[in-house]
Structure 1
Amino acid sequence: MADRMLNVGVVGCAAIAQRTTIPALVADPSVRLVAVASRSRDKAEAVARRFGCEAVTGYAALLARDDIDAVYVPLPPALHAEWVARALAEGKHVLAEKPLAVDRAEAAELVAAARVAGLLLMENFAFLHHGQHDAVRALIDEGAIGEVRHLTAEFGFPPLPPGDIRHDPALGGGALLDAGVYTLRAASLYLGPQVTVQGAVLRTDPGAGVDVAGAALVSDPTGRTAQLTFGFDRSYRCACTIWGSEGTIGLDRAFTAPPNLRPVLRLQRQDHLEERTLPAGHQFASLVSLFARTALDGGDLKRPGEDILRQAELVDAVREAAGRDAAVRDSVTYSRSSR
């Protein structure tokens, strides 16, 4: 594969993409970054100079190029459906920022389009490709904490600036789609793909117009549970704890470990606490490498689509449960106030 290159274009110039995935694309020996596109010519040129590629004005112009095999789409969530679909229609493999779609209906259309075209469609959950989660799974498999009973996953950070796109419902804003999706994906990772949502709460800030915090309780068919909490109205926390019949395993930077960080894994049993400093890992580089290998070598194109659909189902289920539970709470409050 050393002499084969995946020619990639980037649809959008999001700041987070410039910090994480675009540098990983540039650094991967099997990837050639051909061009970046923005609606603003000046912005496209600035990003292109930074990463040594061509600047394109307009997303459609980039997708029409025949020297691009795949695209990375870091647009706001509500824009994914249109531009991912158009990329697939142009015969491009697609790596899209999470969440790939705002609901399962959108996800199903995109996954179906990718399958019909025989193209790779992958969602950018980079944390899944960090070695710290391999270390956790290895400990679980060897019985270090007995049988898994419960998972706690938390991802939250301080309030965003008023003009941040995550406050805009028209762009797919809100804490569920921004932070909550990480905790849902962690539940599937550790409890399996058959987890279901049993209850949920979403708290909306009237000033923001979107949900700014939430929580969900999920379970698998055997009765194992997970408590998931998220929001952008609190101090920073990015943790995951697996609670077993004989101990616990915890990570403090479960979703956002930077490349130079050596994560600390905490293994606790009855009278024993062990802290293991793990090797640093570049989760975005690992994800990009997997994406490129799969696209170039014709690997498993079906599994990423299944993961996308399952994740979107869980997002829909949290919304549905939150609405149902809110109605119950309102009913109880009304009942008590009427006495």
Structure 2
Amino acid sequence: MDPVRIGVLGCADIAQRRMLPAMASDPKVELVAVASRDAAKARATADGFGCQAVHGYAELLAREDIDAVYVPLPAALHAQWVEAALNSGKHVLAEKPLTTEQAVTERLVGQAAAARLALVENVMFVHHPQHAAVRRLLADGAIGELRVLHAAFAIPRLPDDDIRHDPVLGGGALWDTGVYPVRAALYFLGEELRVEGASLARSAGRAVDTAGTALLSTPQGVAAQLSFGLDHGYRSVYELWGSEGRITVERAFTPAADHAPCIRVERGTGTEEIRLPPADQVAHAVRAFADFVRVGAAPDQASLHQAALLHAVRQHASVLGP
């Protein structure tokens, strides 16, 4: 089959550092063009990956030699340009969060479904094989009946001018690092989660939340305790605690491609470390999107449940700090 022809709306760091190299090296994908509102930036980025430069996002969407677009723009711009891409008949891979409003996410997912276009939120960690291996352990009863999920993702303090500090652009810890533990809870506990309580905190001098916690639960009484932040020592981990033991995965959400995962299983009889071969979750995410486009897959329903939970966290949250 012919490769999926992709255009990119924007020259964000994650696009240049991770996604464009993965697209350029995947035979199922043809990286056709990169667009920017800055012509020089578009040219510099496109030259680095052997594709064409386009001055302006609308100009890229008007091209007939592109099947799909990747949207790595700031979160607050996703809704506008995802909708424009769908209106132009393009499949869409958008950075997380898909949008910052639950109702808008629902509308765009409905639009994509009606047009039979793939709409995928780029939550890459779910494509890493280590998490499927953990699911199999749970299904096999490795730790008995699941009681609690603990998940945390936080990164060190960002430069003052980073867009994640700008509320106008959809900044804040919830939209950035909070997506990961929320999606982990959905991945392991299912779609019936509800938010029991939450808090969001601001560091001094910041106009957005820089830290947060949330408590979720399932109808069966399994709890999820989540933490996230933009002003912390680095942490990327989840722990599943059952009636007979625990499963822990470190470097859970953004492992390097050469990282060999270790799943730690602790039971009364001792601790077992299950080591897996390295896997490039970025390459897996790109390949999965290409496959979705090829088969005309329906929009990713997990994005709807994630949007609902993120909305509920914000609605429930008490705001702490200056």
Q: TM-score, normalised on structure 2? A: 0.97
Deviation of 1:253 (Å): 0.8
Instruction: Please give the alpha-carbon distance, in whole angstroms, between the structure 1 residues aligned to 2:291 and 2:130.
Output: 22
Deviation of 1:232 (Å): 1.1
- Secondary structure of the residue that 1:194 maps to in structure 2? coil
Deviation of 1:241 (Å): 0.5
Note the 1:41-120 alignment, pairs <5 A. Answer: 41-120=39-118
- Which residue does the alignment assign to 1:301? 298
Note the 1:178-327 alignment, pairs <5 A. Answer: 178-298=176-296, 300-302=297-299, 304=300, 306-323=301-318
Instruction: Please give the alpha-carbon distance, in whole angstroms, between the structure 1 residues aligned to 2:35 and 2:6.
Output: 11
Letter in 1 for 2:298: L
- Secondary structure of the residue that 2:132 maps to in structure 1? helix
Deviation of 1:41 (Å): 0.9
- Which residue does the alignment assign to 2:175? 177
- Secondary structure of the residue that 2:32 maps to in structure 1? strand
- Which residue does the alignment assign to 1:32? 30
Instruction: Please give the alpha-carbon distance, in whole angstroms, between the structure 1 residues aligned to 2:25 and 2:124.
Output: 16
Instruction: Please give the alpha-carbon distance, in whole angstroms, between the structure 1 residues aligned to 2:269 and 2:232.
Output: 33
Deviation of 1:24 (Å): 1.3
Deviation of 1:205 (Å): 3.0
Instruction: Please give the alpha-carbon distance, in whole angstroms, between the structure 2 residues aligned to 1:207 and 1:105.
Output: 31
- Secondary structure of the residue that 1:123 maps to in structure 2? strand
CA-to-aligned-CA distance 1:99-129 (integer Å, 9 cap, x gap)? 0110201101211211121100000011000
**Percent identity of equivalent pairs:** 53
Deviation of 1:132 (Å): 0.7
- Which residue does the alignment assign to 2:10? 12
Note the 1:144-183 alignment, pairs <5 A. Answer: 144-183=142-181
Instruction: Please give the alpha-carbon distance, in whole angstroms, between the structure 2 residues aligned to 1:50 and 1:25.
Output: 13
Structure number with greater Rg is 1
Instruction: Please give the alpha-carbon distance, in whole angstroms, between the structure 1 residues aligned to 2:101 and 2:310.
Output: 7
Instruction: Please give the alpha-carbon distance, in whole angstroms, between the structure 1 residues aligned to 2:52 and 2:27.
Output: 18
Q: Which runs of 4+ in 1 moved over 4 A?
A: none
CA-to-aligned-CA distance 1:249-277 (integer Å, 9 cap, x gap)? 11111100111110111110014011222
- Secondary structure of the residue that 1:287 maps to in structure 2? helix
Instruction: Please give the alpha-carbon distance, in whole angstroms, between the structure 2 residues aligned to 1:171 and 1:124.
Output: 18
Letter in 2 for 1:318: V
Instruction: Please give the alpha-carbon distance, in whole angstroms, between the structure 1 residues aligned to 2:11 and 2:312.
Output: 31
- Secondary structure of the residue that 1:146 maps to in structure 2? coil
Instruction: Please give the alpha-carbon distance, in whole angstroms, between the structure 1 residues aligned to 2:21 and 2:160.
Output: 28
CA-to-aligned-CA distance 1:15-50 (integer Å, 9 cap, x gap)? 112111111111111110000011111111111011
- Secondary structure of the residue that 1:79 maps to in structure 2? helix
Instruction: Please give the alpha-carbon distance, in whole angstroms, between the structure 2 residues aligned to 1:231 and 1:121.
Output: 27
- Secondary structure of the residue that 2:212 maps to in structure 1? strand
Deviation of 1:69 (Å): 0.4
- Which residue does the alignment assign to 1:336? none
- Secondary structure of the residue that 2:228 maps to in structure 1? strand
Deviation of 1:206 (Å): 5.0
Gaps of 5+ in 1: 330-339
Gaps of 5+ in 2: none
- Secondary structure of the residue that 1:311 maps to in structure 2? helix
Letter in 2 for 1:31: V
Instruction: Please give the alpha-carbon distance, in whole angstroms, between the structure 2 residues aligned to 1:58 and 1:239.
Output: 39
Instruction: Please give the alpha-carbon distance, in whole angstroms, between the structure 2 residues aligned to 1:165 and 1:208.
Output: 12
- Which residue does the alignment assign to 1:136? 134
Letter in 1 for 2:13: A
Instruction: Please give the alpha-carbon distance, in whole angstroms, between the structure 1 residues aligned to 2:239 and 2:11.
Output: 34
Instruction: Please give the alpha-carbon distance, in whole angstroms, between the structure 1 residues aligned to 2:311 and 2:145.
Output: 29
How many residues in Structure 1 have an aligned counterpart in Structure 2? 321
- Secondary structure of the residue that 1:294 maps to in structure 2? helix
Instruction: Please give the alpha-carbon distance, in whole angstroms, between the structure 1 residues aligned to 2:152 and 2:269.
Output: 26
- Secondary structure of the residue that 1:205 maps to in structure 2? coil
- Which residue does the alignment assign to 1:333? none
